[in-house]
Amino acid sequence: MLRGLSTTTFFADDVRAAADWYAELFGMRPYFVRPVEGPPAYVEFRLGDYLHEFGILDRRYAPEGHSREIGGALANWHVDDIEAAVERLVAHGATVHEGPVERGPGFVTASVRDPFGNLLGLMFNQHYLDVLATRGQ
Chain centre to alpha carbon of residue 127:
20
Cβ-contact 61, 74 below 8 angstroms: no
pTM of the model: 0.71
Question: Please, which pLDDT band fits residue 4 given cuts at 50, 70 and 90?
Answer: very low
Q: Quote the CA–CA distance of 51 and 45 in Å, as a whole number.
A: 9
Once rounded to an integer, what is the mean pLDDT over residues 21-36? Answer: 95
Q: What is the pLDDT of residue 49?
A: 81
Cβ-contact 107, 123 below 8 angstroms: yes
CATH code at position 129: 3.10.180.10
- For residue 41, the enclosing domain spans 7-134
Three-state DSSP class for residue 34: strand
Residue 1 within a domain: no
Question: Please, which pLDDT band fits residue 67 given cuts at 50, 70 and 90?
Answer: low
Residue 2 within a domain: no
Cβ-contact 65, 73 below 8 angstroms: no
Q: Find the range with the poorest average confidence among 26-30, 57-61, 74-78.
A: 74-78
Q: Quote the CA–CA distance of 39 and 122 in Å, as a whole number.
A: 30
Residue 60 within a domain: yes
Residue 47 within a domain: yes
CA atoms within 13 A on the CB side of 74: 13
* Count of structural domains, the chain: 1
Residue 38 within a domain: yes
Question: Please, which pLDDT band fits residue 6 given cuts at 50, 70 and 90?
Answer: low
Q: What is the pLDDT of residue 1?
A: 30
